[in-house]
A and B are shown apart, each in its own frame.
Chain A
Amino acid sequence: MTGLAIYLVFFLTVASIYAIVVLGLNLQWGYTGLFNAGIVGFYAVGAYGTAILAGPDRAALIGGFGLPFPLALFGGMVLSGIAALIVGLATLRLRGEYLAITTFGIAISIQLVALNFESLTGGANGLVGLPRPFADRFDDPDLYGLVFLAAMLATVGIIYLALEAVVRSPWGRLLNALREDEVAARALGKNIAAIRLQAFVLGCMLTGLAGGLYVGFIGFVSPLDFLPILTFQIWAMLIVGGSGNNAGALVGAVTVWGLWTMSGLLISRLVPVGFHAQAGAIQTMLIGLVIVSTLLFRPQGMIGERAGGARFGRSNAPPVAKDRNWSTGGGGQQP
């Protein structure tokens, strides 16, 4: 493989990890209208959960169960589900920005726990020596990368299809009803609290799964991986791609992550060596500029929410009225 191809395999692997997180957030925000600003916290729970279950036994640590990777991954996912259940029960009666502030605070608390609970998480030093799944069966690191990517794409594909089925189901329409008009949904006799909790936990489990996959891919985990900026990156992916549309979530993950990383590559090519130190700042500005421009000129994202399409499938559902009230939802504007 050429260097560029090897890099693209690597890039797409990381992008597909983020795609899973964005799909989870899309379920919460795009379909249900839950403003989760604590994504990175559940990502951390999944990552540490997987790392502790799969990691080698160490005298100084509580964890290190040395479980096979798929089992550890599943365990990490369940742990983030449990964390989400606890957080959800405590906070989901909050709405909008209140929920955002609370979840943001919880994510920071989780990162601080990771930083300070040394006997479990290794503290600031992180956990080293984590196994990369099945890496020992491959002599060629490039081939391993390709196989890992294939597994990731399959995982993303399955999750995408499952979510598409879910949001077209009666339960999915209920999520939308909740996002659009909670009072009306309650008037129809629906258990609002339970549905919000279900969507929240499901989305966070996907986030946790992605955290575990990240640990498997990198082979190391430390609190530095879970700074609040990641939450911002994930949100940028969803908004740029198109909130309320699973395909938009995928496109957004690849686009924003590509912008984030390849802008650096491009700048390192175009800027003379003497100015590389300044180029870093240019890159950061460029990222901000593109995201802001997208919001200004294409607020619905690259692939906006289809009018009814995503929810009612290709059935003969009546066209949705153009003057729906979008103020409560995350779908942006109709074109």
Chain B
Amino acid sequence: MIRQRLLACLAAATAIAAAQSAAAQDCTINIGAVLSITGPNAAIGSAIGDAGRLAVDHFNEAGGAAGCKLNFVLRDDQGQPNVGVDAAKTLVSIDRSPVILGAIASGVSLPILTSVSVPSKVTQISCCSSAPTFTELAEEGGTQGYFFRTLPTDRPQAVVMAKIAKEKGYGSVAIIYVNSDYGNAMAKNFTAAAEAQGIEVTDVVGYNQEQASYRAEVSAALKGKPDALFLVAFPADGATITREWLAFGGSKQLLLSNAMRAREYVEAVGAQHLTEAVGIDNAQTEGPSVEAFNAAWTAEKGSPPEGPGLHTMYDATAVALLALEKAGAPDGTAIRDAVREVTGGQGTTIYPGPEGFAKAKELIAAGEPITYEGATGPIKFDENGDVTGPYLIWGVADGELTTLDQWDMARVDAALAEVSGQ
């Protein structure tokens, strides 16, 4: 029994070693991603993986990067930090991936960063982790600059929502938020921004996910008789809370966070109750770079890219590969430094897609500066590896989700400056 097991292990190890030597001959660079294919984020994980693969395919069509073909390796973290860390370690040490793309949950991305990426000097770019702890760690020097994320942090979103509350003339707002890193940060930042503008925040109530009823939370939030409710939730729980909120006589003036921009939510609550609600989302604003991605995705998949993380994952992968091309070799530290050279607004603009990447390769070869404008619009990382993004404001009209307003980066930056200036 044990001998058989040993033999099986040996066979597996040989297979791995053989695959490794074969890879070396063809000059292939593995590009590793750690995402949740199973587990709590499984519903969105595999589509996000497809977005990463699409970017790698586009690069291969353009002739690869750093003189080699690229091979996208997607690993599942099962929503568990210990599994994700192990997957990342195999990607770095066995597959020799010079970058780690991912993970989705902040609680998985962070241990990968501290125990794999930073010690092994590998650049990590996350599509989806929004926790403020990354910024905190970067400020302390804990990331050594190896961490980037293409998803805007929660703070600008909260600040924009507070601005909208002010514009709408709400004097007092209650907050119900999901008790996660995401919900916590949104609630805190919104409170600070709202109070800075003279809006009273009556009650800040956290809720734990997947309960049958949230009456206790709703009652607590109703106590201060607020003009409006800022709800930070995910669609299913959010719908339950909204229904109970309205049933107990809460205001129809709802401010909704990005995750609730889903048909599922509108249908569960009833569109007729949401006529005064406004929500926010990370904007895939119009523009040639966004259109280029949307068209490429639609051509590949047969349906437009709808769902969280697709645009940001494509951009995370594209930035990593452009930086790899710029660095000229699969070296994590060189890629880290090159990331800032291929983004940030200096040089010829590069759009998503094989043609864009082919153009980028030519320009890099000629020593010309480039700047990537991606599926989420222009990308600029600050010193902590965070991005500020454009936002859209959505509402519900005639039973459908509609876009009410657009906030480009200049407007977001102005709002941020105004709130922190006061």
Contacts and interface: CB of A to CB of B under 8 A. Distances in A.
Contacts of A261: 83, 86-87, 90
A129 B140 contact: yes
Nearest to A122: B133
B22 to A, nearest CB: 11
B326 interface: no
Contacts, number: 173
Contacts of B75: 264-265, 268, 276
Nearest to B140: A129
Contact of B93 (A7, A262, A284): A7
A47 to B, nearest CB: 11
Chain B interface size band reads: 35 or more
B27 interface: no
A278 B180 CA distance: 28
A266 B12 contact: yes
A224 B81 contact: yes
B119 A144 contact: yes
A4 interface: yes
Interface in B15-65: 15-17, 19-20, 37-38, 42, 45-46, 49-50, 53
A307 interface: no
B110 A222 contact: yes
B90 A14 contact: no
A251 B196 CA distance: 59
A305 to B, nearest CB: 16
A280 B20 CA distance: 21
Given A128-B142, A276-B73, A116 B179 contact: yes
Interface residues of A, number: 57
A284 B78 contact: yes
A255 B184 CA distance: 39
Nearest to A135: B119
A124 B180 CA distance: 5
A183 B108 CA distance: 48
A142 B140 CA distance: 24
Interface in A233-266: 255, 258, 260-262, 264-266
A3 interface: yes
Contacts of B96: 3
B137 interface: yes
A76 interface: no
Interface in B122-150: 131-133, 136-137, 140, 142
Interface string A120-163: 00111110111010010000010010000000000000000000
Given A115-B179, A128-B133, A284 B107 contact: no
Contacts of A274: 53
Interface in A292-329: 298, 302
Interface of A: 3-4, 6-7, 10-11, 14, 112, 115-116, 118, 122-126, 128-130, 132, 135, 141, 144, 217-220, 222-225, 227, 229-230, 255, 258, 260-262, 264-266, 268-270, 273-274, 276-281, 283-284, 298, 302
26 contacts: A4-B94, A11-B86, A11-B89, A123-B181, A124-B180, A125-B106, A125-B131, A129-B142, A141-B119, A218-B81, A219-B111, A220-B110, A220-B113, A222-B181, A224-B107, A225-B107, A229-B80, A258-B9, A264-B76, A268-B73, A273-B74, A276-B37, A276-B72, A279-B37, A280-B46, A280-B76
